[in-house]
Amino acid sequence: MSMTTVDINLTARDQQVSEPWIWRLCREFNVKVSITKANVDTDFGTMQIRLEGPVEDIQRATAWLMTTGMHVDTLQRSAGVS
């Protein structure tokens, strides 16, 4: 199984800020989530996260993030060991 790492920037506004996005990523997808940088206030937040895991699971997790209404920007992808 091919493993990969993807860095993603997330931008959330208003109601999105208080939602448990990281919890859902960890719970519903087979990926390891690391927060590498964050700046979150009550009505606006930016977060850089790193997803590690099987390519298919990272693709599913990223696709799900795009359905949340947050701005999702993929920064970097690096292939790991098979």
Encode pLDDT of 38-47 as tens digits: 999 988 999 9
CATH number for domain 3-76, candidates 2.40.10.10, 3.40.50.300, 3.90.870.10, 3.30.70.260: 3.30.70.260
Residue 67 phi, psi dihedral angles, 5° rounding: -85, -5
Cα distance between residue 55 and residue 60, in whole Å:
9
Task: Give the position of tokens 């091919």.
Answer: 2
Q: Pairing relation of β-strands 71-79 and 32-40?
A: unpaired
Tell me the whole-structure pTM to 2 decimals: 0.83
Looking only at Cα atoms, what is the longest distance across the chain? Answer: 41
Q: Residue 80: pLDDT band by 50, 70, 90 thresholds?
A: low
Q: Which amino acid is at 55?
A: V
